[in-house]
Structure 1
Amino acid sequence: MPHQPMIEARPLPAKKRRSMSWNSREGRSVIYQIVAIASVVALGWLLVRNTLRNMRERGIQSGYDFMGQPFGFDISETVIPYDVMSTYWTAFSIGLLNTLKVAVIGIVLATILGTLIGIGRFSTNFLVRKLCYGYVEFFRNVPIYLQLLIWYIVFTEILPSFEEAWQVGHFYLSKNGLAFPWPIWKLGQTLALIGLVLGVIASVMYSRKARRHFDLTGQPKPVLWVSLALIAGLAVAGWLAGGAPTGWDLPVKGDFQIENGAVFSPEFTALLLGLVLYTASFIAEIVRSGIASVSLGQHEAAASLGLNKGHSMRLVVLPQALRVIIPPLTSQYLNLTKNSSLAVAVGYPELVSIANTTLNQTGRAIEALSIVMLVYLALSLITSALMNWFNASAAIQER
């Protein structure tokens, strides 16, 4: 057996020590960053100190102690009840819930409408394609503030009074807003809502499984109808488990207004409609550009597998387009949430409106506005985190 020459082990290179010397480039960069951070902190401290000193000299009170005091104004729309002893914490909570109400509903409706219009831009029907194009160009180029004012005028001046309300079944549309039936809430509705959430989760899991099956075999599975069956089936199962309550609170015409049922006020309806139509025009362009970014070869490959246009769009094109769609879509969700602050123009009592009334009563302008800033910052960070998670889960995994 021939002698194997020994390979001499080379020593590992010693780790380079970081030098904090001014003569070191790395050291200078660290020193520059420390100086920059210290300068920002010092500037912030200087601004706060001068502001507090000027407020003391003018006899202006400061602090957040007013939040525990009762607020003395009426709020036209509220999700939670309040009374004469309710504090400003309750008032700001009502404003936050009203903001979330219009933001969540607006995001869902704007996403659906924007996606449909974005896909419609590729329709082979000339009329549908041009109508979608006209919608985008009109609503995207008219300022959102002006749109809100127009819709508010429509709902408060043009629509008929409640005596002559437009009626479709048990739905009434008038200057008093949109009145519609609402279930009398019992255990069955709660379980149905839980079943609805579980159905959505199950449909998402099934759609992912169907996508993996398609990637492995090239054979598509029905997703839409199975997802709808899961959502509706679990919701109905929860409703039946809760005793199958069938009571509805139906709106009726009273002496002075439409009574009973649930009502979307004209202020809320004008704000929601304006935000949805405006944001959907931007979402439509995002969807259109995402679909256009998918190469023509992907469409041809899907057609060669025997997929129709619907399956090709849903199984091949949109999953690849999501990588382009989701990042700018996040910005539009943030914009819709922040644009809800324009509700003061139509009298809807969301967070900014509550803060304006609060600072007028208490004189605590900095404190009230700082609460609004922190709330919008938190909402934006939460929305970004959720969309980043969705972006990571929807990303195409490279082999």
Structure 2
Amino acid sequence: MIDLLREQLLAPRYLGWLLDGWLTTMWSSLLVVAGATVLGVAVAAGRSSDRPALRRATAAYVSLFRNTPLLVQLFFWYFGAPSVLPEAAREWLYAGHVLSFELLSALVGLTLYAAAYVGEDIRSGIRGVPVGQTLAASALGFTRAQVLAQVVLPQALRIALPPLLGQYMNIVKNTSLAMAVGLVELSYASRQVEAETFKTFQAFGIATLLYIATIGAIELLAAWAARRQARVA
């Protein structure tokens, strides 16, 4: 009986593969969250601008990246974009670097995709800031940039925090699509373990538990942020 149970367990070597994949998922998600938040702030500012050309440009960006499948975008950055580069540039990209081309293309694709959604959430937060505060800051001599950076954005980010955390959860889940361009994250690692051991339930079961634990931690953070915001309000 004990021997039978042991046969069902994954060897430490394979657990290490899954752990490495989870760590890749985590730090790549953190990089995408940081990049998408910075770019999302710029998108939200552009969407809220009083310059029609800037509003149209950022609206086109949001429309493009929200209305095309993420997997297609990842394929574009991995297969399509390098094809228009000079041969020397392609050889450099495909050579071994600290940041592999698989990782780089995944980060670019995921960040640009997520920023469109993050930007819209931040824009909603901006619209939730009372107009009177903007007018008061302008009356005190603040420039438009100062009003946005010092008055509007801090409040807008607090208002948008709950939906932003939802977007960050989506980023963690969307990293699983990066396996299509060769990034060895958690989903890729679970497939490797399954192919090596033929223990499908164990490999994908552990991966599922790691995803649940990660998303659950973000959900707890979202609930805490919502309670804190309710107390401040």
Q: What range describes the TM-score normalised by the shorter chain of this pair?
A: 0.7 to 0.9
Q: Counterparts of 1:208-247 in structure 2 under 5 Å?
A: none
1:345–1:314 CA distance, 2 compared to 1 (3 A): same
Q: 1:339 to 1:391 in 2, by over 3 A?
A: same
Q: Partner of 2:31 in structure 1? A: 105
Alignment match, 1:63: 8
Q: Which residue of 1 aligns with 2:46?
A: 120
Cα deviation for residue 368 of structure 1 reads 0.7
CA RMSD of aligned residues (A): 2.5
Give yes or no for contact 1:103–1:340 (8 Å, CA) kept in 2. Answer: yes
Deviations 1:114-154 (A, max 9, x none): 11111111222222221111100111111101111111113
2:66 corresponds in structure 1 to 140
- Asked if the contact 2:73/2:109 (under 8 Å) is kept, the reply is yes
**3-state SS of 2:98 partner:** strand
- For 2:200 and 2:17, locate their aligned partners in 1 and report how far apart those are by CA, in whole Å: 16
> Residue in 1 aligned with 2:55?
129
Question: What code does the residue aligned with 2:93 have?
Answer: G
For 2:16 and 2:81, locate their aligned partners in 1 and report how far apart those are by CA, in whole Å: 29
- Identity between Structure 1 and Structure 2 (%): 34
Aligned to 2:196: 361
Distance in 2 (alpha carbons) for counterparts of 1:135 and 1:384 = 29
Instruction: Report SS of the residue matched to 1:382.
Output: helix
Map of 1:96 onto structure 2: 22
The structural deviation recorded for 1:91 is 1.2
Name the CA distance, whole Å, in 1 between partners of 2:231 and 2:45.
Answer: 21
Deviation at 1:384, TM superposition (A): 3.0
Moved more, 383-392 or 329-338: 383-392
Relative to the length of structure 2, the TM-score reads 0.87
| CA deviations over 1:326-365 (Å, ceiling 9, x no partner) | 1110111011111000122111111111111211221111
Out of 159, 167, 187, the position equivalent to 2:85 is 159
Q: Does 1:385 align with 2:220?
A: yes
Relative to structure 1, the CA distance from residue 135 to residue 281 in structure 2 (aligned partners, 3 Å threshold; closer, same or farther) is: same
Query: Higher relative contact order at CA 8 Å, sep ≥6: structure 1 or structure 2?
Result: 2
Larger Rg over CA atoms: 1
Report deviation, 1:264: 2.0
Partners of 1:300 and 1:381 in 2: CA distance: 41
Q: Secondary structure at the match of 1:177?
A: helix
- The answer for the alignment partner of 2:110 in structure 1 is 275
Question: Residue type matched to 1:121 in 2?
Answer: R
Which stretch shifts more, 344-353 or 147-156?
147-156
Q: In 2, distance between residues paired with 1:325 and 1:301? A: 22
Please say if 1:177 is aligned against 2:73: no
* Residue 176 of structure 1, CA deviation: 4.5
Distance 1:286 1:175, change over 3 A: farther
| Greater fraction of residues in strand | 1
More helix by share: 2
Whether the aligned pair in 1 keeps the contact of 2:66 and 2:113 (CA below 8 Å) is yes
**What residue in structure 2 maps to residue 53 of structure 1?**
none
Q: 1:396 and 1:308, CA in 2 relative to 1: closer, same or farther beyond 3 A? A: farther
Counterpart amino acid of residue 325 in structure 1: A
Gaps of 5+ in 2: none
What CA distance in whole angstroms lies between the structure 1 residues aligned with 2:135 and 2:231? 19
Maintained 8 Å contact 2:162/2:225: no
1:241-320 to structure 2, matched below 5 A, reads 257=95, 262-320=97-155
Determine if the alignment matches structure 1 residue 337 to structure 2 residue 172: yes
Deviates more, 1:110-119 or 1:293-302: 293-302
- Is the contact made by 1:176 and 1:265 (CA closer than 8 Å) also made in structure 2? no
Give, as a single letter, the amino acid of the residue that structure 2 aligns with 1:285. E
Unaligned runs of 5+ in 1: 1-55, 69-86, 166-173, 179-256
d(CA) in 2 for partners of 1:392, 1:312: 27
Query: How many residues end up aligned between the 2 structures?
Result: 229
TM-score norm. by structure 1 comes to 0.53
2: CA distance, partners of 1:367 / 1:306: 63
Map of 1:351 onto structure 2: 186
For 2:92 and 2:185, locate their aligned partners in 1 and report how far apart those are by CA, in whole Å: 19
